[in-house]
Structure 1
């Protein structure tokens, strides 16, 4: 599958992947602070953003999508950074295609299984009848019955677009709803990824816990974990300067 992506900057290639319900634009401000040192590829994963929709949606095919992107760009390898679901994608890429990765950054997710915890959001999104609403305000009012936090609703409704004067979902809501359990799947491989890897968590998030240390060290023996202060799961939005400095320190500025 040919993924949609934005390409900016100059220098070694760094591919950045968003999380569930997100898009390439989620990391644009971070990319702007890195573009003098790296060529950034901000990717829409399949069934998200402006990338194609497909019934097949799992980490194996999402990893293969990244290989296709590298091939199209004539890149033998690149640095990769993925947040949340995107972190699981790049971890699977590391296991399946280790030769395509130079250094790996996994943002606020661990290799373990995560139980489904997006059911109310999915119920809310599916409750929005696209043929019955006439404004984004109406969509927000419906979603508010399922998700009380305005900033979360604002993020989710970035997936609502207009086409031919009608509202449409940019995400493949049907497939995501049907296959949401795939997002939480644990890594399950009998080998490790030996290249330099950074796990970057939010100090106020519970996505990376002490119990994850064993799995992280088993699959990524050449790794270390740091936590960004005063940040939760959306650390790139909450502490962008700290995230940029951490990325540069790990990858090596301009190297």
Structure 2
């Protein structure tokens, strides 16, 4: 996997959400890198990481451990937003001996309904023959029903190619594996290590009815909420989000 590494100390892996890349949690990484070795990753089928035909949480968890092996790291704390939070949780459930803690930002260990149909339609219907530049792509996506903030976020992966424009992310692969990414296959496993769930106060991704599932799989959990934020809590209130996460991480006294 493509990655960016900064700082020294106990290892922390930052994992972005669906359609994102390793820059999404860059602000959090900057707040942690003075005391920790921070590894920001491009998840497979995103950014500059390899494209996978089959993408599910067991395979993604294995990929995270393989990355630790490549870097000579025994254990790391995993922090992820949305899909990245699920990858962090899956790694802890599947490979608990390699995980020193988990932070899941605005996501629960549950299956979710389809909610990205408009996004996929907008992405797949955008002409990539050079007739549509970044400005026109934004108009296209808004006309397709995608809100401007989401469209601007998606366009971070839009790049010029030799023949026009293209997407860094593997849209076909993400669409093909979407059911696996919104699903959750780990109901019988649990992780007893320190865990923090942070939800956006106005988001519907972490609901009261998810609490039993969270407690069953992550019994040592702390639950926090950031008021007046939605699913993009780390971007809406970055200073508060970063301070809350760093406070949790610092409280663990992670070994080198």
TM norm structure 2? 0.95
Measure the CA separation in 2 of the matches of 1:77 and 1:188: 21
Q: CA RMSD in A?
A: 1.4
Measure the CA separation in 1 of the matches of 2:78 and 2:243: 16
| Structure 2 unaligned residues grouped into runs of 5+ | none
Please say if residues 147 and 153 of structure 1, whose CA atoms lie closer than 8 Å, have aligned partners that are also in contact: no
Counterpart check, 1:70 vs 2:73? no
Q: Following TM superposition, by how much is the alpha carbon of 1:134 offset from its aligned partner in structure 2, in angstroms?
A: 4.1
| CA deviation string 1:138-193 (max 9, x = no partner) | 21222112234212111011111123253121010111122211111124342311
Please say if residues 122 and 141 of structure 2, whose CA atoms lie closer than 8 Å, have aligned partners that are also in contact: yes
Please say if residues 111 and 187 of structure 1, whose CA atoms lie closer than 8 Å, have aligned partners that are also in contact: no
Is 123-132 or 146-155 further displaced after alignment?
Answer: 146-155
Partner of 2:221: 223
Measure the CA separation in 1 of the matches of 2:196 and 2:10: 18
Partner of 1:145: 143
Measure the CA separation in 2 of the matches of 1:134 and 1:207: 33
Q: Following TM superposition, by how much is the alpha carbon of 1:239 offset from its aligned partner in structure 2, in angstroms?
A: 1.0
Equivalent runs, 1:163-174 vs 2, <5 Å: 163-164=161-162, 166-174=164-172
Please say if residues 133 and 139 of structure 1, whose CA atoms lie closer than 8 Å, have aligned partners that are also in contact: no
Measure the CA separation in 2 of the matches of 1:125 and 1:28: 25
Please say if residues 92 and 187 of structure 1, whose CA atoms lie closer than 8 Å, have aligned partners that are also in contact: no
Q: Following TM superposition, by how much is the alpha carbon of 1:132 offset from its aligned partner in structure 2, in angstroms?
A: 4.7
Aligned residues: 253
Please say if residues 54 and 177 of structure 2, whose CA atoms lie closer than 8 Å, have aligned partners that are also in contact: no
Partner of 1:24: 22
| Structure 1 unaligned residues grouped into runs of 5+ | none
Measure the CA separation in 1 of the matches of 2:185 and 2:79: 17
Secondary structure of residue in 2 paired with 1:140: helix
Partner of 2:122: 124
Q: Following TM superposition, by how much is the alpha carbon of 1:111 offset from its aligned partner in structure 2, in angstroms?
A: 0.8
Please say if residues 122 and 177 of structure 1, whose CA atoms lie closer than 8 Å, have aligned partners that are also in contact: yes
